[in-house]
Amino acid sequence: MPSATPQLLTGLNPEQLAAVTLPPQHALILAGAGSGKTRVLTTRIAWLISTSQAGPHGILAVTFTNKAAKEMLTRLSAMLPINTRGMWIGTFHGLCNRLLRAHYVEAGLPQLFQILDQADQLSAIKRLLKSLNVDDEKFQPRELQHFINAQKEQGARASAVEAWDDFSRKRLELYDAYEQQCQREGVVDFAELLLRSFELLSRNEILCRHYQQRFRHILVDEFQDTNRLQYRWLKLLAGGGACIFGVGDDDQSIYAFRGAEVGNMRDLEREFKIANVIRLEQNYRSHGNILDAANAIIKNNQSRLGKNLWTDAGSGEPIRVSEALSDIDEARWIVEEIKALSRDGHARSECALLYRSNAQSRVLEHALFNAGLPYRVYGGLRFFERQEIKHALAYLRLIANPDDDTAFARVVNFPTRGIGARSLEQLADLAKAQQCSLHAAIGQLTGKAQASLASFAQLIVKMREGSSDLPLPEVVDHVLDLSGLREHYRNEKEGQDRLANLDELISAAANFIMEENRHENSAANAAEQTDLAAFLAHAALEAGEHQAGDSDDAVQLMTVHSAKGLEFNVVFISGLEEGLFPHEQSQLEEKGLEEERRLMYVAVTRARQRLYLSFAQTRMLHGQTRYNLASRFLEEIPPSLLKWLTPKARNDFVAQPKARYASAPASPAMPHQPHSLQRENENGLRVGQNVRHTKFGVGVIVNAEGSGMDARVQVNFGHAGMKWLALSVAKLTPA
């Protein structure tokens, strides 16, 4: 097939050409965002085959998604007249499954072993705990699932993990028991696919040598996302002299929470003695100003292999920056801007709203809903459709109406309280016979079923009585605590997002009351229904409408993590505030901050033509107003690239803190009571104002107390933390 070779190379830039036509050797290709890495990877495979350096069955290519694998196979079929059906191109899990199917006897598995997905694995763990009479409150199924998978991804069986106390010892016993159960039932989970495959090749020298000699070229996409076990698996297969061709971008490594090790790329360079790292820096996606901003941000990371994106498409438009008074104002501004873009001919589907955490979507969704703009939440559920929110709303619905059978069925045993399926079946039969609600039928039950269900009914009564005189936001807060929802998600290893969403529900309630109070007909509404009933109706309406269909021209909403691999003509990055983006948890260690910066780099490079950056001076979090500093990432972008749509650092802003609820105590970190700096004092300082300190740098005044010589202020200095400073001593000047 040599005649096909020149056509394969048409249109490649010099760096792409150098990567594709490398002689047989280990290679590391640093492929920047939008630099054509998929084309390079696929063309490399086609080049190897067309020049007879490898046959289709002598190549192993690893991707991270089935979609990427299918795209690679489709492109190969278009490039070469070959049958790609039998080629080893797929995900780590898919390739390991194929290996184990072929050698199930050597792997110690039944021929028709089944694969457990995440939900199936969790169910298996629950069955195990029940069979061993283990307290699932102490050893929670989901936390145990995370523990088991984390050990497997490190290549560690239960016998290889050290126990340091009774709890860890028991957890390892459960890990071992889980493995025995899976072996008995002939099933494997996702993590087991890779670990079992690695162990098979490690201990079976003949089999290992067979695959080492077969696969002379190993190509790996998204190398920065590999974990330690995946890297060891690749090294093992390459141990017979195969050439590894690793393609990735360490600046886009954003999955450390899933076990990804950005250091694997540097290890590949060192351990395989790669002398010539090829950098794909020409970008075919974004205009120059966008790329210059991305380069300026990411260069602040110390531990990177280094590259600099560029384009010949021109500088394009400046990056637009907006500073809003509040998160609600920020969302309204974004909506108005999208309307203007739509009038100018931009498709709404080419407008993406990115945010750091899922909880931020609620305010944006509300603004889009009110404006009648269709939208779609990519890679996730809309706010009021999320599991934890629906659970919380179900409890609130039962407070308003205990005869709501749908809400009752949803949370009667969530969080788990020992109410079994048989008890619920008896209750449903009785309710049907008596033609009454499930709640009303509880009093007519007898025996053990009656006792456990009566306890739940008493909980609802306690919630109703305890919240009867509370403002709506505090009702929500009260229910989240008393229901056990907060405690349940707090004990989940990955429950932080759900907790943030629950806290955002409090903010939703507070904002709802504020909006209702602004309406002229609020008195009439209050006469017709309670605040709780009105809020529940509002939540149902927002959950039930405006979710765009697949073919609709709709605004795209997503977290930055979900946006990786996507691109849009117009991108809004919202919530650029210290503690939010970068996230406050990341600021505790350098590695965490560097990953946040990589996340910002990914967000910026999603934009093709126009990029908007926005932040708010105040944001309601957990039902409280918080004063914010602009994100450090804004400061890392050269001012020449930015066009401020609002005056930068407006120091004449006078904050008017609002109470969280009428009877809530003041929070020193999040002021909401009248204080001495509502108006300018003799030093020209105000709450909400940016100030500069000689030692701590720039911060924002968030609280104040006292007067005269006793006056002091609390200032949020971002990475330097929160500080109380006496005005008679501290030298604070407007920033």
Q: 110-141: per-residue pLDDT in tens?
A: 888 888 888 889 889 999 998 899 888 788 88
Q: Is beta strand 712-716 parallel, antiparallel or unpaired with respect to 722-726?
A: antiparallel
pLDDT at 407 over 50: yes
**pLDDT at residue 719, rounded to an integer:** 64
More confident position, 344 or 519: 344
- Whose tokens are 């089944």? That residue is 114
pLDDT at 451 over 90: no
Min mean pLDDT across 309-313, 619-623, 712-716 is at 619-623
Q: Where are the beta strands (DSSP E) in 516-664?
A: 555-559, 568-573, 607-621, 624-627, 642-644
pLDDT at 432 over 90: no
- Structure confidence at residue 23 as a pLDDT band (50, 70, 90): very high
Min mean pLDDT across 163-177, 464-478, 653-667, 707-721 is at 653-667
Min mean pLDDT across 111-115, 473-477, 670-674 is at 670-674
pLDDT at 549 over 60: yes
Helix axes 228-237, 205-214, angle to 10 degrees: 80
Min mean pLDDT across 265-279, 538-552, 658-672, 698-712 is at 658-672
More confident position, 727 or 338: 338
| Mean pLDDT value of segment 214-231 | 95
**pLDDT at residue 129, rounded to an integer:** 92
Residues that are catalytic: 37-38, 221-222, 252, 606
User: Which residues 6+ apart lie within 8 Å of 387 measured at CB?
Assistant: 381, 498
More confident position, 547 or 728: 728
Q: Which of 33, 84, 60 is nearest to 246 (CA)?
A: 60
User: Which residues 6+ apart lie within 8 Å of 270 measured at CB?
Assistant: none
Chain-centroid distance, C-alpha 574: 15
pLDDT at 677 over 50: no
**pLDDT at residue 658, rounded to an integer:** 32
Phi-psi region of 330 (alpha: psi -120 to 50; beta: other; left: phi over 0): alpha
Structure tokens, 439:
């709640």
pLDDT at 667 over 70: no
pLDDT at 564 over 60: yes
**pLDDT at residue 29, rounded to an integer:** 96
More confident position, 608 or 257: 608
Q: What's the per-residue H, E or C state across 129-142? A: HHHCCCCCCCCCHH
- Identify the H or E element spanning 193: helix 190-203
Strand order in the sheet with 732-734: 722-726, 712-716, 697-705, 690-693, 732-734
- Structure confidence at residue 528 as a pLDDT band (50, 70, 90): very low
**pLDDT at residue 661, rounded to an integer:** 30
- Structure confidence at residue 546 as a pLDDT band (50, 70, 90): low
**pLDDT at residue 416, rounded to an integer:** 83
- Structure confidence at residue 654 as a pLDDT band (50, 70, 90): very low
What is the percent of the chain where pLDDT is above 70?
90
pLDDT tens readout for residues 168-211: 899 999 999 999 999 998 889 999 999 999 999 999 999 999 99
Min mean pLDDT across 197-211, 424-438, 656-670, 686-700 is at 656-670
pLDDT at 679 over 50: no
Q: Which of 211, 265, 206 is nearest to 239 (CA)?
A: 211
What is the percent of the chain where pLDDT is above 90?
51
**pLDDT at residue 30, rounded to an integer:** 96
**Under 8 Å between Cβ of 663 and 469:** no
More confident position, 730 or 318: 318
Q: Give the span between the Cα atoms of 129 and 599, in whole angstroms.
A: 38
* Burial of 131 (C-beta count, 10 Å sphere; 0-12/13-18/19+): exposed
List Cα–Cα distances, 718 to 186, 573, 635, in angstroms: 53, 20, 13
**pLDDT at residue 125, rounded to an integer:** 93
* Burial of 639 (C-beta count, 10 Å sphere; 0-12/13-18/19+): exposed
| Mean pLDDT value of segment 606-615 | 97
Q: Give the span between the Cα atoms of 423 and 412, in whole angstroms.
A: 11
* Burial of 523 (C-beta count, 10 Å sphere; 0-12/13-18/19+): exposed
Q: Is beta strand 607-621 parallel, antiparallel or unpaired with respect to 568-573?
A: parallel
**pLDDT at residue 282, rounded to an integer:** 96
Mean pLDDT of the chain: 86
- DSSP tag of 257: G
pLDDT tens readout for residues 349-399: 999 999 999 889 999 999 999 899 999 998 878 888 888 999 999 999 899
pLDDT at 524 over 60: no
- Structure confidence at residue 289 as a pLDDT band (50, 70, 90): very high
